[in-house]
């Protein structure tokens, strides 16, 4: 049975630990394992989780950031947690939640999951990012680590919604969607519903073509912050996998750490079905053949910081992928 791996990220003080503790208090969280990563020598968040959670298998990784110095430790820790004996009568773990430090970048963590030991387990990854409604979103968008977390997210959970002025929840949710239209925005004032939605089993593939069409119609109105760009592109008909992969490599080389997210459904001439390609930062997952969605329409969405469509076009004017907007 595949295990859901939730990467819980969010900038410092955004409510990650509170969200995790609220979930673990619910009976629906049975068969959950937890890994807490903290940058300091004293594991404060880990102590909070342990104090408020009964019989939850948990590991604390302190005194280092899991996205850099502790990457090899993560492979060992996650494997050990999955293989640990379960109490009598308890089923296998159905999910593991890795709470990252507030300064972690998700890309290197996801890269470590490509380790053969973990890749063979078929983990279903979902990146959950907390968005602190008490913090000025413009100030947050200036934080490189925060934008890397937002860009990587499959789900963005608005936290501290009670601190927003009346009627401001929808606009805050729209702001989050503009920063990352690939993410599901959980803007639920009912705390219990928000918590359950954050850690629900992973969902299917987004209709990228419809999303790209919406972006093109909206045009510049979707710009959430001057530094963040959400761009649509389209591969030329009959493109080869070699040409497309070279375009991805060139895009990653051009953008470097400014590349936050890529998600693409593309038909290449070597494959009968469309293929799904995703990246968090410059870390690309293995291509996935969409055998169950043979009619999925082609679309490419790129989320980047401090770079725009014209910069990408100018870097490769004859590229086999056309930047649309």
**Top-confidence residue, 4 or 75:** 4
Q: Is pLDDT at 55 greater than 80 in this prediction? A: no
Six token digits for residue 207: 């209709």
pLDDT-derived band at 47, boundaries 50, 70, 90:
very low
Q: By the 8 A CB rule, do 78 and 114 touch?
A: no
Backbone φ and ψ of 156, nearest 5°: -115, 120
Highest mean pLDDT: which range of 48-57, 156-165, 287-296: 156-165
| ∠ Cα 106 109 110 (to 5°) | 85
State the distance between the two ends of the chain, measured CA to CA, in whole angstroms: 41
Question: Which pLDDT does position 38 carry in this prediction?
Answer: 59
Considering only CA atoms, which of 36, 38, 19, 48 is closest in space to residue 197? 19
- Show the tokens assigned to 10: 């969010």
Which contacts (CB < 8 Å, 24+ apart) does range 270-278 have? Answer: 270/240, 270/241, 271/241, 274/298, 276/205, 277/248
| pLDDT tens digits, one per residue of 88-102 | 767 788 889 999 888
């Amino acid at each position: 049975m595949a295990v859901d791996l939730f990467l819980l990220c969010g900038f410092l003080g955004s409510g990650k630990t509170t969200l995790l503790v609220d979930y673990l208090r619910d009976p629906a969280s049975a068969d959950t394992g937890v890994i807490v990563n903290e940058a300091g020598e004293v594991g404060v968040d880990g102590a909070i989780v342990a104090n408020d959670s009964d019989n939850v298998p948990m590991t604390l990784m302190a005194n280092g950031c899991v996205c850099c110095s502790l990457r090899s430790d993560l492979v060992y820790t996650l494997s050990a947690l999955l293989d640990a004996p379960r109490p009598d009568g308890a089923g296998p773990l159905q999910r593991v939640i890795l709470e990252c430090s507030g300064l972690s970048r998700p890309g290197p963590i996801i890269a470590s999951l490509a380790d053969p030991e973990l890749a063979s387990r078929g983990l279903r990854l979902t990146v959950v990012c907390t968005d602190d409604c008490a913090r000025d979103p413009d100030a947050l968008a200036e934080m490189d680590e925060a934008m890397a977390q937002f860009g990587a997210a499959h789900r963005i959970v608005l936290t501290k919604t009670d601190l927003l002025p009346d009627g401001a929840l929808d606009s805050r949710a729209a702001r989050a969607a503009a920063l990352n239209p690939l993410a599901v925005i959980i803007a639920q004032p009912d705390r219990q519903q928000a918590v359950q939605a954050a850690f629900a089993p992973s969902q299917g593939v987004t209709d990228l073509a419809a999303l790209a069409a919406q972006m093109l119609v909206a045009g510049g109105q979707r710009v959430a912050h001057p530094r963040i760009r959400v761009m649509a592109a389209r591969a030329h008909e009959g493109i080869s996998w070699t040409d497309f992969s070279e375009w991805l490599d060139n895009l990653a080389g051009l953008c470097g750490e400014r590349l936050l997210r890529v998600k693409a459904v593309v038909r290449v001439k070597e494959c009968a079905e469309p293929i799904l390609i995703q990246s968090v930062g410059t870390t690309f997952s293995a291509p996935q053949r969409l055998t169950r969605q043979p009619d999925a329409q082609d679309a490419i969405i790129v989320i980047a910081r401090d770079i725009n469509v014209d910069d990408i076009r100018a870097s490769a004017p004859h590229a086999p992928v056309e930047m649309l907007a």
